[in-house]
Structure 1
Amino acid sequence: MTTAHETRLNITGMGCASCVGRVEAALQGVAGVSEATVNFAAATAQVAYDGPLSDVTQALQAAGYPAAIADVTMKIDQMSCASCVNRVERVLRADPAVIAADVNLATESATIRYVEGATDPASLAKLAGDAGYPAHIAQTDETSADKAHEATALTRTTLIAAALALPVFVLEMGGHMIPAFHHWVHQTIGLQASHLIQFALTSALLVGPGRVFYVKGIPSLLRRAPDMNALVAMGTGAAYLYSVIATFAPGLLPQGSANVYFEAASVIVVLILLGRAMEARAKGRTGAAIRKLVGLQPKTARVEQGNTTVDRPISQINVGDVLQIRPGERVPVDAVVLGGTSYVDESMISGEPVPVGKAPDDQVVGGTVNGTGALRVRAARVGADTVLAQVIRMVEQAQGAKLPIQGLVDKITAWFVPAVLAVALLTIAIWLIFGPAPALPMALVTGVSVLIIACPCAMGLATPTSIMVGTGRAAELGVLFRKGDALQQLQQAKVVALDKTGTLTMGRPELESITTVNGFDRDDVLRQAAAVESRSEHPVATAITRAGPADLPQPTGFTSQTGLGVRAVVEGREVVIGSPRLMDRNGVDLSGLTSEADQRAAAGATPLFVAIDGQAAALLTVSDPVKPGTIEALDRLHAMGLTLAMVTGDNARTAQALADKLGIDHVTAEVLPDGKLQAINTLRDQFGALAFVGDGINDAPALAASDTGVAIGTGTDVAIETADVVLMSGDLRGVANAVEISRRTMRNIRQNLGWAFGYNTLLIPVAAGALYPLGGPLLSPALAAGAMALSSVFVVTNALRLRRVRASLPERDMKHQTQAVAS
C-alpha cells in the first residue's frame, strides 16, 4: 500500500523511554497510518499516513503527548485588496499542517499556527510566494519601516506618472473644456500628431510606473483568481488598446466611434498610484504605538564586572547581572533593586502619572525612567521575558487579530472581484445591444468605469486599520487587548462584575482612624499600639505597625490570644489591643467607644480597642481602603449604561456596605471560586453579556468563564493565561478606558464598512450608466479611479481618528500610588 503523506512531528510530554511505545501505539491506532517511528532522544515521530493530519494530532493529544504547535508572523508582499487576503489565507490553510492562518491587509502580514515538524516557516513562505505573494518572517517594527520606504517609492513613482500623464490630459481634455484650445491644437500640430504624442506618453507611463498593475494583475487572471490589480489592468488595458486601434487603424471601428481614451488610462494609473501612496503613508502611522513601545528600551546597559563597569548591549544582558542606573536613564531590563533609592516614572507602562518610590528589594520594569536617584539593580527578566516585551507581543497580536465582524467581509470579498468582472461584461453587452450610436465607445467607457470603481481596497482595509489604530491607542492608555475578539466583545457587555479585594480596594488593610478617650494622646497611643503589633504577623497588626512611627520602642512580655487580641508591656505600661470580649475579660470600660465602633463596623471596617494600664485609651479602625479613582470609574461605567455587580468571597455585611458606598447595583458575597462561576452565569442570564474584572490570579476561573475577562494590576505576569484584556495599571479607571476604546473602535469599523459597502453598492450602477437613461451623466473612468482611490484613503484616515481618542477619565495626581505591573 502506498501512502499519500510522510511527515515528522515534534512530540511533547515524553519523559522516559517507555513513553515511546505509548506514542507509537497511539499513532498506529489512527486509521490510515501505515508506519510510525518515535525517537525519544530527538522527541520526534516519523509518520506515514493517508488521511487528514488532524486525526494524527488529535490521537497524540488524547494520548497525552501532543504534537508541538508553533506560531509565526510573516510579512506578505504585493497584497492590494481584500480578495488578495482571501487568496493567501486559502493557500496557507490548504497545507494540512496549518491549524490557523489569518492575513491582515493593513499590516501586510499573516499570523500562522502550524504543527511543528510537519512544516516550517520557509515552506509556508514558499506557498504564499507560489501564489504570487512573496513572503518572509516578519521582524519587530518591520511594517512601519517598510511602509515608510513604500510611501517614498510610491510618491516618486506617482510624480513620474503624473509628469507623463499631464500632457496627455491637457491635449485631450483641454480641447473639450476650451474649444479655442482644440482649434489651436488642430491647426498647429494636427489631430493625428496629438494622438501620436498621447500614444507615446501613455505607452511610457504604462510600461514604466503603471507596469506594476500588469505584472501582478495578468498572472492573477491566468490563475483564475483576479484581484484589484487585474481590474485596473483590464480597465486601463481596454482603454489603451481601443485608443491604439483608433489611432493606427480607425477603419476597424464603426463609423464615428474612433475616439481615443489615452487620457483615461493615464489618469487612472496616476490616481490609483496616488491613492496607494497616501494609503502607505497613513498605514505607516497606524503602527505608531508599537514604535513607541520599541523605543522605550535602551540599547545598552551599564554592567558591573569586578571593580569596574562596562557598557554592554541589551541582548547580552543575562539574568543575575548587576547593573547601575544613573539619574534620568531608562531602566534597561526588569530587575530588583539592590541599593539606592529613587522615584521611577512608570507612566509609559502603567499609565500612572505619579513616579513610584523605589528602595532595596523593590522591582523595576524595563523601559521606565529613573528619577534623580542612582540605583544598583540585579537583572531578573531579560529579552522576551520582560514586561515590555510581553506588552509589545500582546499589542502586535491584537493588531493582527481578525474580529468576528471580519467574517462577513471575507465572505463577500471572496466572490466580489469575479462578480465585478461579470457586471463589467454585462454592462458592455447591454450598451452594445441597447446603447445609442456610437455604442462601442460608450460600452467601453462604462465597462472600464465599473472595473475601476469596484476595486475592493476599502473593504479590505475597513476592519484591520481600525483594529491597528484602536489597539495601539489603547496600549498608550495602559489597556492591552490580548485576545482579538475581546475588542468586539467588550463593547457588547451589559454588566460589569468586579472582584472586591485588590480590584475595588487596595487589597491590604490600612489604619483608617484613631479615636482617643480619657485624655490619652493620639500619637502616644499609636506609637505604643504599633510597638505591640510589630510582634504580630496578622495583616491587621501589620497595618497598625505600618501607620506608626519608624522609631518604635521594644515591647516585652508579648502574648497573643487567638481570636481575641494581643498584649505586651511598652515602656513600663501594659498595653492590651483587641476585641470587646478581651476588654471585658480585663475589666475595661468601653462605654465611650462602643457607639462609634458599631458605626464603623456597619460601614465594613474592623474595630479594635486599645487599653493602657487597664483603662480604655482608643478605638482603632482598620479597613481595606477603596482605590483612588474607583468611585469616578464606577460613575463613568454607570453613565455608559452598564450595570455594576460585585462578586466577592468577603462577608455579606462588609460587601454590602462597600457596595452602598460605591453605588454598585448587585452584590454576591461569601462565594468560593467555583461559586463565582455560578454567580457570573446568573448575572449573564439576568442582564446579558458580562465582563468580569479581577486581579487575574485567584480570579482566573471567573476571568476565563466571563464573556470578556479584564485583569487589573496583576503584577509582571499580567494575567497572560486567562484575561482577554489586561490593564497595566491598578487604577480601575482603566476599565472605563477599555470600554470606551472598544466602543469607539467598533463604531469606527462600522463606519468604515458602511462606507466601503455603500460606496460600491451605490457607485457601481452609476459607473455602469444606470443614470444615463434618466438624463444623468456617464461616469468617466478617470473620475472612477479618483473615487476609488479616495474611498481607500477615507477608510484609513477615518481609522486614524482613533489616535485622538482621549482617556474616558483624565489621569490625575493621586495621593495613594498603587504599584503597577512591577509590584
Structure 2
Amino acid sequence: MSQAEIRTTAETGDPLEQRVELDISGMTCAACASRIERKLNRLDGVRATVNYATERAVVLGAPAERAPDLIATVRAAGYDASPVVEGEEPDGYSDRVRLLRNRLIVAALITVPLGDAAIVLALAPQLRFPGWPWVLIAGAIPVVFWCAWPFHRAAWRNLRHGGTSMDTLVSLGVLAAFTWSVVATLLGVSQESTYWIGYGAAPAGADSLYLEAAAAITTFLLAGRYVEARSKRSARGVLSAIGGLAPTTVRVIRDGAEQVVPIGTLQVGERFVVRPGERIATDGRVLVGASAIDTSAMTGESVPAEVAVGDRVLGGTTNTTGALIVEAERVGAHTQLAQLAVLAEQAQARKAAVQTLVDKVVAVFVPAVLVIALLTLVAWLAFGGDVRDAVSAAMSVLIIACPCALGLATPTALLVGVGRGGQLGILVKGPDALEASGAIDTVVLDKTGTLTTGRMSLIDVRGFGQADSRDALGIASAVEGYSEHPIARAVVAGAQEVATPAATDVTALPGFGVRGRVSASAGGVSDVVIGTRELMDAEGVAVPAEAQEFLDRAAEAGTTAVLLAVDGTLTGGFEVADAIKDSAAGAVARLRDMGLRTVLLTGDRQHAAETVGAQVGVDEVIAEVLPTEKAAVIERLQADGRSVAMVGDGINDAAALATANLGMAVVSGTDVALKSADIILVRRSLDVVPDAIALARRTLRTIRGNLVWAFGYNVAAIPLAAFGQLNPLIAGLAMSLSSIFVVTNSMRLRRFEPARPRRPQAADPGRGN
C-alpha cells in the first residue's frame, strides 16, 4: 500500500493536525483499547485515542511515514493494525464476524445434546454404557478447542503481556473443566461423595465429568461476543458518509473552456460552474450569477439562502435555481465540510475512554478469582486434604466463578431492549447509549427537520386596501405554480381550495421573487409581481403602512413574508414558516416531566428560533450557530456539568451527535447523522424521543440488575466452592441457573410500554407563543 493511500492530513492547527488512522483487530474488551492507547502514547510527540466500538486508533502528531512504527507498536502489544483506507472495510473484518458466527452455531449444536447426555449419564448409572466418558469427551473437543479458541488466544495474549481479562477466566474455566474430566477418566476417579445443599450422595462418577459446564460457558459467551461484533459494524464509516456529500467532479473553467475534472485537482483561486440542482464543489465566493442555495444540510436553515455576486457559498450545499460561477477559496481538508468530518471523528474517538460496566467489574473480579482458586488448592493440600479433593475444590471455584452470567448481563438485555425498541420505532446501536442514558439531564434539540417539518408552510394571508385575501392568494398561486422555490411551493399548497386564474409569461427573479401575467376577473390580463420589499421598491410599487406592519411583525417573529402587486398596486401579503410538528410540544413537555432540561440549538435566525422555542416550550434557545460550533456548544454544556443528549437530523448535527453523551438521530436525517448517533428514531411522532430515553433507562436498569445478581451470586457461591461444599457438577448447574435468571430478567423488557403522549396546556393564542 502506498503512503498516498494511508488516510492522513498533514495540515497543522486545530482541528487539523498531522494524523494517522489505524484499524485495530484482536481487541475483546475496552481494557484492550486502553492497553493499546497506553502503548501508543508512550511514543514521542504523539497523542493517541483508541475506540473499542469502532476498532480504530487515531494518532495525532504523527506524519504518514510513522505509520509503520505505530503498527509495530500495536503488534508489540499483542494486537494487529493496518492503515485506514478510505471507503474500505478493514482486512478480514467480515471474515472474522462470519467465523465467530460459525463457532457459535457449532457450539450450540454440540452443547445441547452434550449437556443432556452428561447430566443423564452422570446421575443415572443404569443408563451408562462402556466407554461413555470418552464419547462425551470426544464430543466436547470441538467446543473446548475450536469454538472457544478466541477466548484461549486472548487469554494467552494477556498472559504474555502481564494482564488479565474476562477471557482469562473463561479460558481457565473451560480448560480446567475439560482437563479434569480427562484426568478423572484416565485415573478412574469415581468414588461416592456427599455434598451440601440437600443433594445427598452423588452417584459414583457424578463428580468426574464437567464437560457440559465447559460447553455451556463457551456457547453462552460466544453468543455475547457475536452480538457485540455485529453492533460494532454500525459504528463505523462516519467519515465516508460525510465525504459522500461532496461531489466527486467539478465543472472547472480552464483556458476559457468548461471542463469536468476530479474534485481533487481543483486549486484555490480557480473558477468553477454550478448548475441548478448540483451540489457546490467547495467553499468559495460567487463571481457571476444569483441563486437560492439550500444550506439546510450544513446550517439547519430551512429557507434557502439567496446569494449573488460577492457572497460566500459552502461546499456540500445545493444550488436550487440559477447558474453560478464560483471562485474556490478553500479546498480539500480546509473546507468546512472536511473540518466537520474531523470534528465528528474526534468526538467519537473520545468515547473510547468510556469503560463498560462489565469490564469495570471483571477488572477486579478476574484476578481475585484466580487468587482464590490458587489459595483454595494450596489450603486443601496444606491442611491434609488429598490431591483429588484439592483439585476438585479449586476447579469448583473456577467454574462457579466463571462469569457466564456477567457475560450475558449486557448482551441479553441489549438484545431484548433493542428488539422492543424496534417495535416502537427506536433503534439502539449499543451499550454506550444505554450507559449514557442513565445520567442524561439535558436534551438538546435541533430545529429544522427535528422540531419542525423542514418544509415551508403558509401561515398567514393578508389582503391590503380593498383587495380580498382569497383573491390575492389565487393570483399568487397562479404565478408561483411555475416556480420550484420552497416559498412558492408553500403558497401553492396553501391555495388548494382557492380559485386560481391562468398565468402566462412567468419569469423568475433570482433573489427577489417572480413576475408574470394572469387573466383578470373582469377580462383582460394583469401584470403581477410577487416577492420581497426590495422587489416592490424596484418596481415602483408603493408599500402602505399596513403592509409594512405586516412585514415588520413577520421579521420580529422570525418568519418570511412576501408581497403581491397587481398592475402596480400592492394587494396582498403572504407569511410562510417552517411548520412545527404536531407532536413537538407534547414531546418537550414529557421530557420536562422526566426532569430533563430542554435546549433548542439551531443555525437558524434568532427570531425564528425563539418563536419555535416558545411554541414548543423549551427551557433555552441557542440560535445562529455554525455547523462547526454545534459540537463546541455541546462541550460547553458538558463543561458546566451537564450530561447531554442531542437530537438532530442533518449533516450539520453529525459532530454534535457524536460529541454528546447520547446522540439521537431522526429517520429523516442524512446518512452521516444516523451513523454518528447512538439511537436512531424511526417513528414520525416526536414522542419517540422521550420513549427512547425511557426505554434506554429501563434497559440500563435491567443490565445493572443482571450484573448485581451475577456478581452477588459469584461472591456468595465462591466460599462454598472453596470449602468443598459444592460438587463441580452442581456448580456448573448453579452457574447455568444464574444465566437463566439473567435471561429471564432481560425478557421482562419485552413488556415495556411507552407512556401516553402528553397533551400540553393550550398556549396563549397571541403571536409568539
TM-score class, shorter-chain normalisation, is 0.5 to 0.7
Please, which of 660, 668, 689 is the counterpart of residue 614 of structure 2?
A: 660
Residue in 2 that maps onto 1:528: 475
Deviation of residue 263 (structure 1)? 0.8
Residue in 1 that maps onto 2:362: 413
Q: Is this contact kept in 2: 1:402–1:464, CA < 8 A?
A: no
1-structure distance, mates of 2:678, 2:695: 14
1-structure distance, mates of 2:628, 2:233: 42
Residue in 1 that maps onto 2:354: 404
Please, which of 769, 782, 787 is the counterpart of residue 734 of structure 2?
A: 787
2-structure distance, mates of 1:601, 1:61: 42
Deviation of residue 626 (structure 1)? 0.9
Q: Within 5 A, what are the aligned runs for 1:351-500?
A: 404-406=354-356, 409-410=358-359, 413=362, 416-431=365-380, 446-463=393-410, 466=413, 485=432, 487-500=434-447
Deviations 1:324-380 (A, max 9, x none): xxxxxxxxxxxx9xxxxxxxxxxxxxxxxxxxxxxxxxxxxxxxxxxxxxxxxxxxx
Deviation of residue 653 (structure 1)? 4.2
Deviation of residue 646 (structure 1)? 1.8
Residue in 1 that maps onto 2:273: none
Deviations 1:699-723 (A, max 9, x none): 5665566444545467554337866
Judge which range, 221-230 or 760-769, deviates more.
Answer: 221-230
Residue in 2 that maps onto 1:767: 721
The verdict on how the C-alpha distance between 1:157 and 1:760 changes in structure 2, with shifts beyond 3 A counting, is closer
The verdict on how the C-alpha distance between 1:527 and 1:479 changes in structure 2, with shifts beyond 3 A counting, is same
Q: Within 5 A, what are the aligned runs for 1:259-658?
A: 262-266=205-209, 268-274=210-216, 276-277=218-219, 404-406=354-356, 409-410=358-359, 413=362, 416-431=365-380, 446-463=393-410, 466=413, 485=432, 487-514=434-461, 524-533=471-480, 539-548=486-495, 553-554=502-503, 569-571=517-519, 572-573=525-526, 575=528, 605-606=559-560, 620-658=574-612
Q: Is this contact kept in 2: 1:514–1:618, CA < 8 A?
A: yes
Please, which of 693, 701, 725 is the counterpart of residue 739 of structure 1?
A: 693
TM-score, structure 2 normalization? 0.59
**Matching of residue 690 in structure 1 with residue 644 in structure 2:** yes
Residue in 1 that maps onto 2:136: 205
2-structure distance, mates of 1:498, 1:88: 32
2-structure distance, mates of 1:138, 1:204: 36
Aligned residue for 2:707, secondary structure, equals: helix
Deviation of residue 754 (structure 1)? 2.0
Deviation of residue 127 (structure 1)? 6.3
Point out where structure 1 has 5 or more consecutive residues left out of the alignment. 1-8, 13-41, 45-56, 130-135, 175-193, 251-257, 293-335, 337-393, 773-777, 811-823
The verdict on how the C-alpha distance between 1:278 and 1:455 changes in structure 2, with shifts beyond 3 A counting, is closer
Aligned residue for 1:624, secondary structure, equals: strand
Q: Is this contact kept in 1: 2:648–2:657, CA < 8 A?
A: yes
Aligned residue for 1:492, secondary structure, equals: coil
Aligned residue for 1:264, secondary structure, equals: coil
The verdict on how the C-alpha distance between 1:637 and 1:91 changes in structure 2, with shifts beyond 3 A counting, is closer
2-structure distance, mates of 1:431, 1:629: 68
Deviations 1:565-592 (A, max 9, x none): 8876532245565789979x9678887x
The verdict on how the C-alpha distance between 1:744 and 1:210 changes in structure 2, with shifts beyond 3 A counting, is same
2-structure distance, mates of 1:557, 1:766: 90
Q: Is this contact kept in 2: 1:168–1:198, CA < 8 A?
A: no
Residue 205 of structure 2 aligns to which amino acid in structure 1? Answer: F
Q: Is this contact kept in 1: 2:653–2:673, CA < 8 A?
A: no
Residue in 2 that maps onto 1:230: 172
Residue 490 of structure 2 aligns to which amino acid in structure 1? Answer: A
Residue in 1 that maps onto 2:334: none
Q: Is this contact kept in 2: 1:479–1:725, CA < 8 A?
A: yes
2-structure distance, mates of 1:230, 1:561: 74
Q: Is this contact kept in 1: 2:649–2:674, CA < 8 A?
A: no
Residue in 1 that maps onto 2:320: none
**Matching of residue 71 in structure 1 with residue 23 in structure 2:** yes
Q: Is this contact kept in 2: 1:543–1:622, CA < 8 A?
A: yes
Deviation of residue 804 (structure 1)? 6.9
**Matching of residue 750 in structure 1 with residue 697 in structure 2:** no
TM-score, structure 1 normalization? 0.55
Aligned residue for 1:622, secondary structure, equals: strand
Residue 660 of structure 1 aligns to which amino acid in structure 2? Answer: A
2-structure distance, mates of 1:475, 1:509: 31
Judge which range, 798-807 or 646-655, deviates more.
Answer: 798-807
Please, which of 99, 115, 120 is the counterpart of residue 166 of structure 1?
A: 120
The verdict on how the C-alpha distance between 1:552 and 1:116 changes in structure 2, with shifts beyond 3 A counting, is farther
Judge which range, 787-796 or 233-242, deviates more.
Answer: 233-242
Q: Is this contact kept in 2: 1:677–1:701, CA < 8 A?
A: yes
Aligned residue for 1:646, secondary structure, equals: strand
Deviations 1:583-605 (A, max 9, x none): 9x9678887x9999998777655
2-structure distance, mates of 1:570, 1:453: 87
The verdict on how the C-alpha distance between 1:210 and 1:509 changes in structure 2, with shifts beyond 3 A counting, is closer
The verdict on how the C-alpha distance between 1:402 and 1:521 changes in structure 2, with shifts beyond 3 A counting, is same
Residue in 1 that maps onto 2:241: none
Deviation of residue 665 (structure 1)? 1.5
1-structure distance, mates of 2:612, 2:581: 12
2-structure distance, mates of 1:673, 1:717: 16
2-structure distance, mates of 1:676, 1:540: 27
1-structure distance, mates of 2:190, 2:480: 104
Deviation of residue 785 (structure 1)? 0.8
Deviation of residue 458 (structure 1)? 3.1
Deviation of residue 497 (structure 1)? 2.1
Deviation of residue 677 (structure 1)? 6.5
Q: Is this contact kept in 2: 1:10–1:43, CA < 8 A?
A: yes
Q: Is this contact kept in 2: 1:704–1:723, CA < 8 A?
A: yes
Residue in 2 that maps onto 1:295: none
Residue 443 of structure 2 aligns to which amino acid in structure 1? Answer: V
Residue in 2 that maps onto 1:191: none
Residue 495 of structure 1 aligns to which amino acid in structure 2? Answer: T
Bigger CA radius of gyration: 1
Residue 262 of structure 1 aligns to which amino acid in structure 2? Answer: G
Q: Within 5 A, what are the aligned runs for 1:708-747?
A: 708-712=662-666, 716-719=670-673, 732-747=686-701
Deviation of residue 502 (structure 1)? 3.4
Deviation of residue 764 (structure 1)? 0.8
The verdict on how the C-alpha distance between 1:61 and 1:204 changes in structure 2, with shifts beyond 3 A counting, is farther
1-structure distance, mates of 2:174, 2:352: 28
The verdict on how the C-alpha distance between 1:265 and 1:504 changes in structure 2, with shifts beyond 3 A counting, is same
Residue 624 of structure 1 aligns to which amino acid in structure 2? Answer: D
Aligned residue for 2:503, secondary structure, equals: coil
The verdict on how the C-alpha distance between 1:801 and 1:210 changes in structure 2, with shifts beyond 3 A counting, is farther
Residue in 1 that maps onto 2:239: none
Q: Is this contact kept in 2: 1:287–1:469, CA < 8 A?
A: no
2-structure distance, mates of 1:729, 1:73: 36
2-structure distance, mates of 1:234, 1:561: 79
Deviations 1:214-260 (A, max 9, x none): 8979997997985434335445655775787686999xxxxxxx998
Deviation of residue 287 (structure 1)? 8.7
